[in-house]
Amino acid sequence: MAEYNPLFGDIALNAVKKAKAGEHVDALYTVDSVTFDSPEAAKAALPNRAY
């Protein structure tokens, strides 16, 4: 089971807005994602998610 972090959308949008405004934009962003080895492990992680 794999997880994609949907919070990256806000990070990407802010980077685009900064670039359009002529502000500095970092060249690299890290998006935390997790791979779970069982459905139980995924369910255990859910209460700690911001989404």
Which of 48, 41, 29, 28 lies closest to 2, judged by CA?
A: 41
Q: For residue 1, what pLDDT is reported?
A: 59
> Is the confidence at residue 2, as pLDDT, over 80?
no
Q: For residue 3, what pLDDT is reported?
A: 65
For 3-41, what is each residue's pLDDT tens digit? 667 778 888 899 999 999 999 999 998 887 778 888 888
**Which has the higher per-residue pLDDT, 45 or 22?**
22
Q: For residue 19, what pLDDT is reported?
A: 96
Q: For residue 15, what pLDDT is reported?
A: 93
44: which 2 tokens? 């255990």
- The string of DSSP codes covering 4-46 is --TTHHHHHHHHHHHHHTT----S-------B-SSHHHHHHHG
